[in-house]
Amino acid sequence: MNILILIKLLVAHIIGDFFLQTDTICEGKNSKGFRRLIYLAIHSGINAALAYLLVGMWECWLIPVVVFVTHYIIDYVKSCVNSKDTWVFIIDQLAHVTVIVLLWAWITDTQLCLSGDWLSDYRIWVVAVCYLLALKPSSILLGTFIAKWTPKENDKNSLPNAGSWIGYLERILILTFMLVGCMEGIGFLLAAKSVFRFGELTKAREVKITEYVMIGTLSSFTIAILLGAVAVKVLGN
């Protein structure tokens, strides 16, 4: 089965890039000079060997060669950037996965569907719009809605933009739970957030802060549930 080869290539990448990449290798890749080149070669060689062994197409030397060369180049560029930013990690992994998919299509003579016909499916656009609305637009709406109740004093112990990111994640989770039909997950999420916030609110002993947090939380949940309900309704038609 062609798809099995793709899965094996992905498994090899996950094992080699995460489980077998030790701290020593990681530090060596981000070092300077010849030492960096050596550790990049070691890491790329491990990934190439894993891909070759797991796929088991012994006559196809293209697999280890392509994996080694592309992995080396991608990780070399990443090491030059030497940033721990999340987007650098995402772009790095997308580059590796793209190479794997193209390599799989090449060695199995699989035609990749790049026609864009899937873009004509309105259900994909409905889901995309709902997820997009659950992010920044919802955050702005909530900010304007609860602005008049926002405490004047800022909590210096709070992480920068932590509230916004918590809101993003909880709305994404709620929307996902509704799309997959896991309604109990929403209740669990609300209960978990209440437990984590209980200690903080108890220490504060301020009714205004408690009410402010409750308004923000319930408003965020309401928006996500409404978006999920609309998505489920449209997708069900």
What confidence tier does 214 reach under pLDDT thresholds 50, 70, 90? confident
User: Looking at 59-73, 144-158, 173-187, which range is the least confident one?
Assistant: 144-158
Instruction: Report the mean per-residue pLDDT for the chain.
Output: 87
- Which is nearest to 94 in space by CA: 13, 209, 169, 37? 13
Model confidence over 74-97: pLDDT tens digits?
Answer: 999 999 987 778 889 999 999 999
What confidence tier does 235 reach under pLDDT thresholds 50, 70, 90? confident
pTM above 0.95, yes or no: no
User: Which residues have C-beta within 8 Å of that of residue 206, sequence separation ≥ 6?
Assistant: none
Q: Please state, in angstroms and rounded to a whole number, the distance separating the CA atoms of residues 232 and 180.
A: 9
CB atoms within 10 A of CB 224: 26
Model confidence over 28-70: pLDDT tens digits?
Answer: 998 988 999 999 999 999 999 999 999 999 999 999 999 999 9
User: Which residues have C-beta within 8 Å of that of residue 50, sequence separation ≥ 6?
Assistant: 12, 13, 15, 16, 20
Query: Which residue did the predictor score with more confidence, 190 or 112?
Result: 190
User: Which residues have C-beta within 8 Å of that of residue 9, sequence separation ≥ 6?
Assistant: 51, 54, 55, 63, 100, 103, 104
